[in-house]
């Protein structure tokens, strides 16, 4: 360990169970010396898993449904009380598609579901940042990271409406990133992660084919959740102070690979 986050305080959204990227990131941040506050939707917290993580890293847990302005306000107010001031980093590791859950094809989505999906998966980042800026809850040179997927830029048909949600998430990252940088030197980035076996990830139709294909198409192979957690640690650290408004690929080279010999050999069979 490098003590990269010694003395830093952070909020981690989205640790559902031990497979969650947020769970691994909380462990990695703790190992690097950070103090953490955990949060998730009240319904996810009822499953009780998050309390195990809270115990391991000695973190308080405050419920927050990210579609609720009141919950968000309450979370940041309590976080300020708990830490005696602002935080240095925040992980937004949240995604949910109502239409995928209900088995709706992209060409036939239900728009009420769609609104909910966009609210949870993308607008929530705006709500988070807007609440933080209003309460002055992020310290100078703080860092906010949200997780995304390359389906925002290229078509992966079964990613469905989440592709649109991720495109919006990345746009909010740029737009709010500008304002927060000017106002308080706070940086905002997205990490575009390889397919990863988690509860949200496995919800994508044909996930096994999807993850195996990505593995074959990535010169380094798929990036694991642990690797993603380590990357997030660097983005929360002072070593990346001038990086903001970026979509950063963390995918073993997948995003810039046209084809690999492994895939060619597979096609020749
Ligand atoms: N797993 C993958 O293949 C993959 C790839 C790229 C990006 N991502 C992104 O990583 C992030 C984390 O997902 P994960 O794969 O760790 O899965 P996960 O299922 O462990 O995490 C998703 C989290 O979103 C939370 N959530 C859903 N609705 C919420 C609400 N209304 N309020 C607050 N929280 C809510 C869930 O409770 C859960 O903790 C997501 O943004 C996902 O899209 C995942």
Structural domain spans, the chain: 9-268
Distance (Å) from CA 2 to ligand 1 centroid: 28
Distance (Å) from CA 268 to ligand 1 centroid: 37
CB 165 near ligand 1, within 6 Å:
no
CB 120 near ligand 1, within 6 Å:
yes
Triad 25, 30, 35: Cα angle to 5°: 115
Q: Can you tell me whether residue 266 is helix, strand or coil? A: helix
Q: What is the mean pLDDT of the chain?
A: 97
Q: Can you tell me whether residue 256 is helix, strand or coil? A: helix
Residue 45's pLDDT band (boundaries 50, 70, 90)? confident
For ligand 1, what atom is nearest to the CA of residue 211? Answer: 3
Q: Answer whether residue 163 shows pLDDT above 90.
A: yes
Q: What is the mean pLDDT of residues 206-216?
A: 92
Residue 47's pLDDT band (boundaries 50, 70, 90)? confident
Residue 87's pLDDT band (boundaries 50, 70, 90)? very high
Strand 35-39 with 138-148, pairing: unpaired
Q: Answer whether residue 205 shows pLDDT above 90.
A: no
Residue 49's pLDDT band (boundaries 50, 70, 90)? very high
Q: What is the mean pLDDT of residues 2-13?
A: 98
The protein residue with its alpha carbon nearest to ligand 1, atom 26, reads 94
- Which residue, among 223, 203, 107, has the nearest Cα to 157 in the 3D structure? 107
CB 195 near ligand 1, within 6 Å:
yes
Q: Can you tell me whether residue 68 is helix, strand or coil? A: coil
CB 44 near ligand 1, within 6 Å:
yes
Here the tokens at position 96 are 């949910």
Q: Answer whether residue 264 shows pLDDT above 80.
A: yes
Q: Quick one: pLDDT at residue 42?
A: 95
Distance (Å) from CA 244 to ligand 1 centroid: 22
Question: Which pLDDT tens digit goes with each residue over 122-161?
Answer: 999 999 999 999 999 999 999 999 999 999 999 999 999 9
Distance (Å) from CA 41 to ligand 1 centroid: 11
CB 16 near ligand 1, within 6 Å:
yes
Residue 67's pLDDT band (boundaries 50, 70, 90)? very high
CA distance 152 to 145: 16
Q: Answer whether residue 48 shows pLDDT above 80.
A: no
Distance (Å) from CA 261 to ligand 1 centroid: 32
CA distance 92 to 215: 25
Q: Can you tell me whether residue 155 is helix, strand or coil? A: coil
**With contact defined as beta carbons under 8 Å apart, do 196 and 229 qualify?**
no
Q: Answer whether residue 202 shows pLDDT above 90.
A: no
CB 94 near ligand 1, within 6 Å:
yes
Distance (Å) from CA 173 to ligand 1 centroid: 17
* pTM across the whole model: 0.98
Strand 35-39 with 9-13, pairing: parallel
Question: Which pLDDT tens digit goes with each residue over 236-258?
Answer: 999 999 999 999 999 999 999 99
CA distance 5 to 34: 5
Q: Answer whether residue 210 shows pLDDT above 80.
A: yes
What percent of the chain clears pLDDT 70, i.e. is strictly above it?
100
The protein residue with its alpha carbon nearest to ligand 1, atom 5, reads 195
Instruction: Give the burial class of 112: count Cβ atoms within 10 A of its Cβ; 0-12 exposed, 13-18 middle, 19 or more buried.
Output: exposed
Q: Answer whether residue 78 shows pLDDT above 80.
A: yes
Tell me the CATH number of domain 9-268, given options 3.40.190.80, 3.40.50.720, 3.30.70.360, 3.40.980.10: 3.40.50.720
Question: Which pLDDT tens digit goes with each residue over 14-41?
Answer: 999 999 999 999 999 999 999 999 999 9
CA distance 220 to 223: 8
């Amino acid at each position: 360990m490098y003590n990269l986050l010694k003395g830093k305080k952070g909020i981690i959204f989205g640790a559902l169970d031990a497979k969650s990227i947020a769970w691994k990131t909380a462990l990695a941040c703790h190992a690097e010396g950070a103090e953490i506050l955990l949060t998730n939707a009240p319904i996810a917290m009822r499953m009780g898993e998050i309390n195990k993580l809270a115990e391991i890293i000695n973190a308080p847990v405050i419920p927050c449904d990210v579609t609720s302005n009141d919950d968000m306000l309450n979370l940041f107010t309590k976080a300020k009380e708990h830490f005696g001031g602002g935080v240095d980093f925040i992980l937004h590791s949240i995604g949910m598609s109502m239409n995928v859950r209900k088995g709706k094809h992209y060409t036939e989505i239900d728009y009420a579901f769609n609104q909910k999906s966009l609210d949870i998966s993308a607008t929530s980042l705006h709500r988070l940042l807007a609440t933080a800026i209003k309460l002055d809850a992020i310290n100078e040179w703080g860092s906010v990271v949200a997780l995304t997927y390359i389906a925002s830029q290229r078509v992966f048909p079964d990613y469905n409406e989440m592709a649109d949600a991720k495109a919006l998430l990345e746009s909010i990252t740029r737009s709010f990133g500008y304002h927060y940088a000017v106002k308080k030197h706070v940086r905002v980035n997205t990490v575009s992660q390889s397919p990863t076996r988690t509860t949200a990830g496995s919800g994508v139709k044909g996930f096994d084919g999807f993850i195996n294909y990505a593995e074959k198409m990535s010169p380094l192979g798929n990036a694991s959740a642990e690797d993603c957690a380590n990357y997030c640690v660097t983005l929360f650290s002072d070593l990346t102070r001038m990086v903001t408004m970026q979509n950063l690929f963390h995918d073993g080279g997948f995003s810039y690979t046209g084809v690999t010999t492994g895939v060619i050999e597979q096609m020749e069979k």
